[in-house]
Chains A and B, each alone.
Chain A
Amino acid sequence: MNSWKSVLAATALALASATSAMAARTDIVIGIPLEPPHLDPTASAAAAIDEVLYANVFQGLTRIGPSGEVLPDLAESWTISDDGKTYTFKLHSGVKFHDGSDFNADDVKFSLDRARGEKSANAQKALFAAIDTVEVVDPATVKITLKNPQGSFLYNLGWGDAVIVAPESADTNKEKPIGTGPFRFENWAKGSSITLVKSADYWGEPAFLDKAEFRIVPDAAAAVPALLSGDVQAFPFFQPDGVAQIEGDPRFSVVVGATEGETLLSMNNKKPPFDNLKVRQAISYALDRAAIVEGASAGFGKPIGSHQSPASKDYVDLTGMYPHDVAKAKELLKEAGLENGFKATLKLPPPSYARLGGEIIASQLREVGIDLEIIPVEWAQWLEQVFKGKDFDLTIVSHTEPNDIDIYSRKDYYFNYDNPAFDKVIGELKVTSDEAKRKDLLGQAQKILAEDAVVGFLFELPKVGVWDAKLEGFWTDAPIQANDITKVKWKD
């Protein structure tokens, strides 16, 4: 008696697939500069992992949207107790992992307990530090109790490091990731590419693409011919210096957005003469941000005056506090007793913003009498010497984690900055969830950092995306490091 229905359904399906086959393409090759070390976003800080898997294969209770907003993901909705300490999440039903097993509240408890557990290899363990207990109320409800209210808790749950994994596959996700997202992992040809395909039984709105290959193209010079030959159709994170060759070609769209990367001329605040506010201010006056943006980001970066993205709703424009003023810089150095200038080192990690920016900054500081010795280092060296050992005078680095102004209050952080007034503001911010109050506190924090000239605030790292003009649905900005392709499609 159901045969009629199934015949109809089959016909409809055949028609649908026939028309879609005739319509737009459903496959894509996306270029990424770095190969992920493995494919488990809960076990490494490497952005390259999220750039393939976040939102596509793995999902969290919440997620971060294209403008940095918190959106529901595996959690359909939630309620927060009045004291701000208890979050009750209502989960979507009918959700399956890619291996066919069911998703429920037990997986949520498992994932969060694993991430914050003693043996956890999670790179962002601090995100979960406020959690006291995770309880399974029923298969579709989870109750999380915090030790203290945390303003950014829902946001924290949206990080790639907080995605939900299944107990059966958690240990093998590095090689064979099993998530709940609209794409499932198909193949990883090491050194070459990672392929995702559309998940047939996805619980939500299905993706448009049937197949997406993330191809590793490490060389910026190789990215341009890869696009021009049609081998690769999109580079969501394109090297800014290659844009000149693509711009003006009607076959491609060049889309410039913002990241959460505050690019800084970091200073060692405990090492003389950088422990002197006047010296740090002198350096801030000596910097010509327009020239730095032009040289280090091909003109695409946005100047910043403190540690907050200009795209953020909480941004306060403080770029006017230290305008480019050589005379003023010299005067401040004189007041600091350094009228004859001084010598210092500038350690530069590999990214081109640092290497190019370093040359420009060295020449700008030379104008006020500061003689910089440039020392190029690789990442491993940078982390060891600068970040861990604090063995540096100046360095250039982009702090790409979102909403990370609290790093200036961390004890033993490589800036060596210590200001109780700032710590107080951050302490308050951490337990505040009211939007207006948070905005006010964030504003205060930005202002203190700018006044203290803790570092030389340079520019917000741009996100330059280049893709085939017939493609749509890529993100313009990068509020988190991800390539969400769930809405990407070919226009017909």
Chain B
Amino acid sequence: MTAYLLKRIAIAIATLVLASLVVFAVLEIVPGDPARLMLGMNASAEQVEQLRTQMGLNDPLLLRYLHWAGDLLTLDLGRSLTYSVPVLDLVRERVAVSLPLALIALALSAVIAIPVGLYSASRRGHAGDTLAMGAAQIGVAIPNFWFALMLIYLFAVWLRLVPAGGFPGWGNGIWPALKSLLLPAVALALPQAAILARVTRSALIDVLNEDYIRTARAKGLPYRAVLWQHALRNAMIPVLTILGLQFAFLLAGTIIIENVFYLPGLGRLVFQAITQRDLIVVESVVMLLVAAVIAVNLIVDLSYAIVDPRLRGRE
């Protein structure tokens, strides 16, 4: 187990170093000058050059990489070029939106998908299964920005139950903040739930065809007990894998939903930083997300071992 863990951690560190090189290199290659963007079309070339020097953009490439990577090691994410505040402050504000949103959406997705998958697998081929999988198919196909707009028109414009967008901040009470995350979480969760339900169903069906299930049934265990105790646990590995991937996506890939609901999340921070060529913000936040994804994968790997005792003995 320890060796397994150490190996995973070594791989994680190598991935981080590689990612830092790629992120840095890509931003060097992409055209665009943060100084020119700040000064606009009326500023002279000399003025732009002067601002570049002030921002440290004229230092040699290697020096800038080492400087940035060195700061990262001490957990200093640097200062934003455009906002001129520490990146850590920006990230902290955004994580306070993105993390709860991702968690709510993930919970919703699991709560909807796993029972539906269970139901469908156990009623395989029946009308209920066909209906549920048909709905899941639609759920996968619906573009989530469109679905989000429909939710807004129904719940915010027509029923006026929740705000149409925006985020009041946690400082103004838990309930108003949760309320503003509700619709985005549903909009994010539904397509994810649809995928997860399909995965759960097919994983369960595979397991239900195994010999030991027949054995369990043959020795007289009720169907329900077989499904919950024998089948579901064994079907959990693909489900956990998908959940892990979904969490990584929900944390960083929600830019479209964040735009539709104008939420100040991580996705929009990165997007805005890219359009303004705020190199430090893009580099540091992307690295942070890489680290988060790696951490999630690590947790998923470890949770396999919890679900499947056979994995615990390996290596």
**Interface of A toward B, CB cutoff 8 Å:** 35, 37-38, 43-46, 119-121, 123-126, 174-175, 189-193, 215-219, 221-222, 225-226, 228-231, 378-381, 383-385, 387-388, 399, 401, 412
Whether the pair A126, B44 counts as a contact (CB closer than 8 A) is: yes
- Asked if B12 is at the interface (CB within 8 A of a chain A CB), the reply is no
Chain B 147-178, CB within 8 Å of chain A: the 1/0 string?
A: 00100110011001001111101000000000
Q: Are B33 and A45 in contact (CB under 8 A)?
A: no
Counting chain A CB atoms within 10 Å of each CB, the highest count among B163, B165, B263 belongs to B165
Cross-chain contact B93 with A191 (CB below 8 angstroms): yes
Q: Is B277 a contact partner of A380 (Cβ separation < 8 A)?
A: yes
Known: A192-B169, A228-B157, A231-B166. A219 touches B259 (CB 8 A): yes
- Shortest distance between the CB of B39 and any CB in chain A (Å): 5
With A190-B93, A412-B45 known, 8 other A-B pairs at CB within 8 A are A37-B276, A46-B40, A174-B83, A175-B84, A191-B97, A229-B163, A231-B163, A383-B33
Query: Smallest CB-CB separation from A230: which chain B residue?
Result: B160
Establish whether residues B39 and A190, one from each chain, have CB atoms under 8 Å apart when the complex forms: no
A191 contact from B39, B42, B165, B268, Cβ within 8 A: B268
B166-A45 in contact (CB<8A): no
Please name all residues of chain A whose beta carbon is closer than 8 Å to the beta carbon of B90 when the two chains form the complex: 190
**Cα separation A383 to B260 with both chains bound (whole Å):** 27
Q: In the complex, are the beta carbons of B37 and A380 less than 8 A apart?
A: yes
Report A223 CB to chain B, min CB distance, Å.
Answer: 9
**Residue in contact with A37 in the complex, picked from B83, B166, B265, CB distance below 8 Å:** B83
Cβ–Cβ contact B44 & A125, under 8 A? yes
Give which listed residue, B84, B94, B164, B264, contacts A222 with CB less than 8 A.
B164
Assess the A123–B262 pair: CB atoms within 8 A. no
Asked if B198 CB lies within 8 Å of chain A CBs, one says: no
Those 7 A-B pairs whose CB atoms lie nearest each other, nearest first = A45-B40, A191-B264, A380-B32, A37-B82, A229-B164, A384-B31, A192-B264
Report the separation of the CA atoms of residues A126 and B149 in the bound assembly, to the nearest whole angstrom: 45
CB of A313 to closest CB in B, whole Å: 23
Q: Which chain B residues border A193 with CB–CB below 8 Å? A: 166
B201 at the interface (CB under 8 A from A): no
- Does residue B137 face the partner (Cβ distance < 8 Å to A)? no
Find chain A residues with CB under 8 A from B45 CB. Answer: 388, 412
Contact A222 B165, beta carbon cutoff 8 Å: yes
B269 interface residue (CB < 8 Å to A): yes
Q: State how many residues of chain B have any CB contact under 8 Å with chain A.
A: 53
B32 and A378: CB pair below 8 A? yes
User: Are A126 and B93 closer than 8 Å at their CB atoms?
Assistant: no
A215 touches B166 (CB 8 A): yes
Flag if B165 contacts A174 (CB, 8 Å): no
Could you write out 13 A-B pairs with CB less than 8 Å apart? Answer: A123-B39, A189-B169, A190-B90, A191-B272, A217-B262, A221-B260, A228-B157, A228-B164, A231-B156, A231-B163, A231-B164, A381-B30, A412-B45
A44, B38: Cβ atoms closer than 8 Å: yes
Report the Cα distance A384→B29, complex, angstroms. 12
B24 interface residue (CB < 8 Å to A): no
B93 to chain A, nearest CB (A): 6
In the complex with contacts A123-B39, A225-B153, A384-B262 CB distance below 8 A: no
CA distance A193 to B171 in the complex (A): 14
Q: Which positions 250-282 of chain B face chain A at CB distance < 8 Å?
A: 259-265, 268-269, 272, 275-277
A123:B164 contact, CB within 8 angstroms: no
Q: Which residue of A lies closest to B277 (CB)?
A: A380
Return chain B residues, CB-CB under 8 Å to A124. Answer: 42-43
Q: Does residue B18 face the partner (Cβ distance < 8 Å to A)? A: no
Whether the Cβ atoms of A191 and B31 lie closer than 8 Å is: no
**In the complex the two chains form, is A381's CB within 8 Å of B32's CB?**
yes
Q: CB-nearest residue of chain A relative to B259?
A: A219
Question: Is B84 in contact with A38, judged by CB distance below 8 angstroms?
Answer: yes
Does any Cβ of A come within 8 Å of B6's Cβ?
A: no
Q: How far is the CA of A192 from the CA of B41 in the complex (A)?
A: 27
Chain B residues whose CB sits within 8 angstroms of the CB of A46 once the complex forms: 38, 40
Q: With a CB–CB cut-off of 8 A, which chain B residues contact A388?
A: 33, 36, 45
Q: Indicate if the CB atoms of A379 and B275 lie closer than 8 Å.
A: yes
- Cβ of A383 and Cβ of B43 under 8 Å apart? no
Contact in complex: B276, A380 (CB < 8 Å): yes
In the complex, the answer to whether A175 meets B43 with C-beta atoms within 8 Å is no
Contact B31 A125 (CB under 8 A): no
Residues of A within 8 A of B145 (CB): 221
Give chain B interface residues in 5-34, CB to chain A under 8 Å: 30-34
CA distance A218 to B275 in the complex (A): 13
- Smallest CB separation, B55 vs chain A (Å): 10
B47 at the interface (CB under 8 A from A): yes
- By the criterion CB–CB under 8 Å, are A383 and B37 in contact? yes
Q: How far is the CB of B51 from chain A (nearest CB, A)?
A: 6
A311 to B184, CA, bound (A): 43
Task: Let me know if A174 and B33 touch, CB within 8 A.
Answer: no
Nearest residue, chain B, Cβ from A377? B31
Evaluate whether A189 and B264 lie within 8 angstroms (CB atoms) in the complex, with A38-B83, A38-B84, A222-B259 already known. Answer: yes
Cβ contact within 8 Å between A222 and B31: no
For B135, the chain A residues whose CB sits under 8 A away are: none
Which of A120, A175, A221, A383 makes the CB contact (< 8 A) with B36? A383
* Cα–Cα, bound, A2→B294 (Å): 73
Contact B84 A174 (CB under 8 A): yes
| A45-B40, A189-B264, A222-B261 known; A381-B157 Cβ under 8 A | no
Q: For B157, list chain A residues within 8 Å (CB).
A: 225, 228-229
Which residues of chain B are within 8 angstroms of A221 by Cβ–Cβ distance? Answer: 145, 149, 260
In the bound complex, residues from chain A placing their C-beta under 8 Å from that of B166 are 192-193, 215, 217, 226, 231
Asked whether B37 lies within 8 Å of A379 as measured between CB atoms, the reply is yes
Which one, A125, A219, A222, A384, contacts B33 given CB within 8 A? A384
Query: How far is the CB of B29 from the nearest CB of chain A, in Å?
Result: 12
User: Which residues of chain B have C-beta atoms less than 8 A from A43's C-beta?
Assistant: 38
- A121 and B93 contact, CB distance less than 8 A: no
Residue of A with least CB distance to B160? A229
Whether A218 pairs with B259 at a CB distance below 8 angstroms is: yes
A390 CB to nearest chain B CB (Å): 12
Task: Check B306 for interface membership: any CB of A closer than 8 A.
Answer: no
Say yes or no: is B299 at the interface (Cβ < 8 Å to chain A).
no
Could you say which residues of chain A place their CB within 8 Å of the CB of B47?
120, 125
In the assembled complex, how far is the CB of residue B84 from the closest CB belonging to chain A, in whole angstroms? 6
A215 to B263 alpha-carbon distance, docked (Å): 11
Q: Is the CB of A191 within 8 A of B43?
A: no
Chain B residues with Cβ under 8 A from A379's Cβ? 32, 37, 275
Contacts of A383 in B (CB 8 A): 32-33, 36-37, 41
Report if B142 contacts A (CB, 8 A). no
Contact B84–A226 (Cβ < 8 Å): no
CA distance A46 to B40 in the complex (A): 7
Tell me which residues across on chain B come within 8 A of A225, comparing CB atoms: 149, 152-153, 156-157, 164-165
Which chain B residue lies CB-closest to A125?
Answer: B47
**For residue B275, which residues in chain A have a CB less than 8 angstroms away from its CB?**
378-380
Tell me the complex Cα distance, A342–B12, Å: 54
Q: Does chain A have a CB within 8 A of B85?
A: yes
* A380 B264 Cβ-Cβ under 8 A: no
